[in-house]
């Protein structure tokens, strides 16, 4: 059990709360699409399990690879020296095996979903793994991380429908700018270390004040996309309750993180964004379920 706990810590499994709720939104959007087209949906439970496997394995692959690739930097940084690989809790070779196993499981899971997910699985893996290299050459690394997590809603939608659509893409764009913004806030903790090691990030490149301004702008874009999704998707008004919480948490995290006070960065990063993701997804999925039920003929209901 201790080994399992160590690997869960290695990949920061608790951070799954950021992308997984948006994957569930994409999944239920796909179900609504099937209902609208009167397409049989007998395999929904099977697809859901496969999507969950893909989410866990893709994220585990990406996070473990990031820890493996950055192990030498992590050892030098007092904040990250306690991580599993630099602390010697997990050997680098075992972490590499863990990465390959999860990548293989991800590809196998996509094979059992549908052809388009299987064919795109190497592309998805490339995107989520490529992020780990970006701090070495571009301060836009935060956007690449956002891009990786943004695959969750559109990927889950593809799993159900096998096709692309505008609405899940709007949620994907919302994730890109949301994640990029809070990753900038998180990176404020390492501004001095990144500069000393010639690592790229928006805080290390632009400084604290400009970095926070950029994060705010990115979060405005994120809020704009979830607002646009409400109108384009013609959602039930319940959606608005989730929207208020999501935007409220964006405003809250910027209100507690200041250039001269970074003591609440972790609250902004984990607590505020965790609440934003979970509560928003609950209300959006509720709105979608109400729409789906409204499309079911009364004869079926009764």
Task: Work out whether the CA dihedral 168, 170, 176, 181 comes out positive or negative.
Answer: negative
| DSSP 8-state symbol, 42 | T
Q: Which residues of 3-23 are buried (b: 16+ CB within 10 A; e: fewer)?
A: eeeebeebbbeebbbbbbbbb
In this structure, how many other beta carbons lie within 10 angstroms of the beta carbon of residue 126? 10
Please report, in tens digits, the pLDDT of each residue of the chain (302 residues total). 788 899 988 988 888 889 999 999 999 999 988 866 665 556 789 999 999 999 999 999 999 999 999 999 999 999 999 999 999 999 999 999 999 999 999 999 999 999 999 999 999 999 999 999 999 999 999 999 999 999 999 999 999 999 999 999 999 999 999 999 999 999 999 999 999 999 999 999 999 999 999 999 999 999 999 999 999 998 999 999 999 999 999 999 999 999 999 999 999 988 999 999 999 999 999 999 998 887 655 334 33
- Domains within the chain, CATH numbers bracketed: 2-296 (1.10.357.140)
pTM (2 d.p.): 0.94
- How many helices and strands (H and E) does the chain possess? 15, 0
What does the DSSP assignment read for 254-300?
HHH-BTTB-TTHHIIIIIIHHHHHHHHHHHHHHHHHHHHHHHS-HHH
Report the distance separating Cα 298 and Cα 283, nearest Å.
24
| CA angle centred on 59, ends 129 and 167, rounded to 5° | 95
Q: Are 239 and 287 spatial neighbours (Cβ–Cβ below 8 Å)? A: yes
* Block residue for tokens 């991800």: 106
């Amino acid at each position: 059990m201790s080994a399992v706990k160590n690997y869960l810590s290695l990949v920061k499994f608790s951070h799954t709360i950021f992308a997984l709720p948006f994957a569930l939104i994409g999944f239920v959007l796909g179900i609504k699409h099937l209902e609208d087209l009167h397409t049989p949906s007998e395999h929904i439970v099977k697809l859901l399990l496969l999507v969950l496997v893909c989410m866990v394995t893709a994220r585990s692959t990406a996070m473990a690879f990031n820890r493996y690739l950055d192990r030498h930097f992590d050892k030098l940084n007092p904040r990250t020296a306690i991580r599993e690989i630099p602390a010697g809790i997990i050997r680098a070779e075992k972490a590499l095996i863990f990465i390959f196993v999860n990548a293989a499981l991800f590809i196998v899971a996509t094979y059992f979903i549908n052809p388009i997910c299987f064919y795109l699985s190497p592309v998805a893996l490339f995107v989520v793994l490529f992020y780990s290299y970006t701090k070495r050459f571009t301060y836009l690394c935060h956007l690449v991380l956002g891009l990786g997590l943004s695959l969750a809603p559109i990927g889950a939608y593809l799993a159900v429908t096998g096709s692309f659509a505008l609405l899940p893409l709007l949620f994907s764009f919302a994730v890109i700018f949301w994640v990029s913004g809070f990753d900038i806030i998180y990176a404020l903790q390492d501004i001095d270390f990144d500069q000393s090691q010639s690592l790229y990030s928006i805080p290390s490149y632009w400084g604290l004040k400009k970095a926070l301004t950029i994060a705010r702008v990115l979060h405005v874009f994120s809020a704009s996309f979830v607002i646009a999704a409400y109108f384009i998707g013609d959602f039930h008004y319940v959606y608005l309750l989730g929207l208020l919480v999501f935007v409220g948490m964006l405003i809250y995290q910027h209100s507690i993180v200041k250039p001269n006070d970074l003591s609440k960065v972790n609250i902004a990063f984990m607590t505020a964004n965790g609440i934003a993701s979970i509560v928003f997804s609950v209300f959006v999925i509720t709105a979608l379920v109400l729409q789906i039920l409204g499309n079911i003929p009364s004869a079926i209901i009764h």
